[in-house]
Amino acid sequence: MQSQRCKPSIRRRLRLWTAVLLSAQLAVSGGTASAEPAASDPGKDAAARKELRQMYNRIAVMTGLPWENVAALDRYERTLSRAHPKTRPLRPNALVGVYVPPERWSGYLNPDPEDTNPVSIRVFHGVGRDGSGDGIADRNNDLDLLYSVARQVRQQGPTSDDFAIGLWEYYQNTRAVQRILQFSKIYETFGKLDLNKHVFPLPVGTDYSYRSTWGNSRGWGGTRIHEGTDIFADYGVPVRSTSYGIVEVKGWNPYGGWRIGIRDLDNLYHYYAHLSGFDKSLKPNDVVRPGQIIGWVGSSGYGRPGTQGKFPPHLHYGVYRDRGLVEWAFDPYPLLRKWERNELKALKVHK
Ligand SMILES: [Zn+2]
């Protein structure tokens, strides 16, 4: 980038850096921040996970879809509901995250949008089916919901290409297709639903400092407002994936430098920028686990590929929530504090 805005004089840069580091040290020693509000997520409770897994297996047998496809479909639906709580209300005591609007369930021309009769729903081309075996197609029943959507998607055929086409037919949205295929691959890789562990992006106990830099115009991030947290550390400190996930983007970006983007099962996009280098074996579409080293702290960016040193070395860490058609950044600082605290606690226990 040629912009002068990106090239503050050395003196000014040093002044900024000193100010940032000083306030970082102050901020870390005090104050607490609350994490994102917790949403109902059966994936976080062992008993609920077990029951969910049984449902996925059952729907897999009924439809011929692999269980990880059923799980991914359900997971994606849950993340949409989390992003749109008003238009996709959560059902009380629901295990399954699938939401189908009444008119889609019953059929658009069905005079009864709350129809639960599988025969009339079929006549009106609604997606609602009976998956639980009680003769009723109930929009509020976990098995009916899961079966109805899985069956609809499975109609294209048995191969993985057919699955992708079925997803496209159902969602009419390439992002939805990409997400569900990504989630499927994560579930397939680990073979379980218990994939909620998170860690701090740098090894806890190494020398680093950070503070809340959300919206701060002085941050080095590459967007107008600073969408993320800068974690200052020396060149070469390992950068680790904070979550289970799948590599979505890897390479050079004029602002972010060498950066890597990882999608997790909460449909969050974790963005790690200004790296000095990557783990060479990592490729887009590779699955990662929390704590896995993905690269090293650097100062790349603000120039042609390979540019380093236009600012002090740090990790720029951003998190974006996929809302279906657009993505929104939110402040990762509270999450970072939480993950760091949890790891410090675990370290003490093991001493
Ligand atoms: Zn930054």
Give residue-wise pLDDT tens across range 236-285: 999 999 999 999 999 999 889 999 999 999 999 999 999 999 999 999 99
- Locus of tokens 């290409």: 161
Q: How far is the CA of 229 from the centre of ligand 1 (A)?
A: 6
Q: How confident is the model at residue 142 (pLDDT cuts 50, 70, 90)?
A: very high
Give the mean pLDDT of 112-132. Answer: 97
| Per-residue pLDDT, 271 | 96
Give the mean pLDDT of 44-66. Answer: 95
Give the mean pLDDT of 188-206. Answer: 96
Is the pLDDT score of 156 beyond 90? yes
Is the pLDDT score of 35 beyond 70? no
| Per-residue pLDDT, 325 | 78
Is the pLDDT score of 321 beyond 80? yes
Beta-carbon contacts of 143 under 8 Å, excluding residues fewer than 6 positions away, are: 55, 58, 59, 96, 131, 132
Is the pLDDT score of 145 beyond 80? yes
Tokens of 71: 């799980």
Give the mean pLDDT of 181-203. Answer: 97
Q: How far is the CA of 215 from the centre of ligand 1 (A)?
A: 10
CA–CA distance from 250 to each of 46, 201, 316, 349 (Å)?
34, 17, 15, 36
| Per-residue pLDDT, 330 | 87
User: Which domains, ranges and CATH numbers included, belong to the chain?
Assistant: 8-37+197-350 (2.70.70.10), 42-190 (no CATH)
Q: How far is the CA of 315 from the centre of ligand 1 (A)?
A: 7
Give the mean pLDDT of 165-172. Answer: 96
Gap between the Cα atoms of 286 and 248, Å rounded: 8
E strands along the chain, which residues? 208-210, 229-233, 238-240, 245-253, 257-263, 268-275, 277-278, 287-288, 293-296, 314-322, 327-330
| Per-residue pLDDT, 33 | 30
Round the average pLDDT of the chain to a whole number and report it.
86
Q: How far is the CA of 255 from the centre of ligand 1 (A)?
A: 10
Q: How far is the CA of 316 from the centre of ligand 1 (A)?
A: 4
| Sign of torsion over alpha carbons 107, 111, 114, 119 | negative
Is the pLDDT score of 172 beyond 90? yes
Give the mean pLDDT of 288-306. Answer: 95
Q: How far is the CA of 37 from the centre of ligand 1 (A)?
A: 24
Q: How confident is the model at residue 297 (pLDDT cuts 50, 70, 90)?
A: very high
Q: How far is the CA of 296 from the centre of ligand 1 (A)?
A: 15
Give the mean pLDDT of 152-158. Answer: 94
Q: How far is the CA of 145 from the centre of ligand 1 (A)?
A: 42
Work out the angle between the directed axes of helices 46-63 and 67-83 (0-180°, nearest 10). Answer: 120
Percent of the chain residues topping a pLDDT of 70 = 85
Q: How far is the CA of 223 from the centre of ligand 1 (A)?
A: 9
Is the pLDDT score of 4 beyond 60? no
Q: How far is the CA of 302 from the centre of ligand 1 (A)?
A: 12
Q: How far is the CA of 270 from the centre of ligand 1 (A)?
A: 13
Q: How far is the CA of 133 from the centre of ligand 1 (A)?
A: 53
Q: How far is the CA of 18 from the centre of ligand 1 (A)?
A: 15
Is the pLDDT score of 203 beyond 90? yes
Percent of the chain residues topping a pLDDT of 90 = 73
Gap between the Cα atoms of 80 and 115, Å rounded: 24
- Locus of tokens 């295929």: 181
Is the pLDDT score of 157 beyond 50? yes
Q: How far is the CA of 220 from the centre of ligand 1 (A)?
A: 4
Gap between the Cα atoms of 109 and 121, Å rounded: 10
Q: Of 40-44, 168-172, 216-220, 339-343, where does mean pLDDT reach its minimum? A: 216-220
Q: How far is the CA of 69 from the centre of ligand 1 (A)?
A: 36
C-alpha dihedral (178, 182, 184, 185), degrees to nearest 10: 140
Query: pTM of this prediction?
Result: 0.85
Is the pLDDT score of 17 beyond 90? no
| Per-residue pLDDT, 25 | 29
Is the pLDDT score of 219 beyond 60? no
Tokens of 322: 């996929």
Residue by residue, DSSP assigns 218-257 as TS-SSSSS--SEEEEE-TT-EEE-SSSEEEEEEEEETTTE
Q: How far is the CA of 24 from the centre of ligand 1 (A)?
A: 13
Nearest to 170 by CA among 268, 86, 91, 101: 101
- Whether the Cβ atoms of residue 136 and residue 130 lie closer than 8 Å to each other: yes
| Per-residue pLDDT, 217 | 59
> Which letter does DSSP use for residue 193 in this model?
S
Give the mean pLDDT of 195-221. Answer: 84
Tokens of 351: 């001493």
Q: Which residue has the higher pLDDT, 249 or 10?
A: 249
Give the mean pLDDT of 149-174. Answer: 95
- Whether the Cβ atoms of residue 48 and residue 142 lie closer than 8 Å to each other: no
- Locus of tokens 């540019």: 307
Put residue 340 in one of left, alpha, beta given phi > 0 → left and psi -120 to 50 → alpha. alpha
| Per-residue pLDDT, 92 | 83
Gap between the Cα atoms of 1 and 11, Å rounded: 21
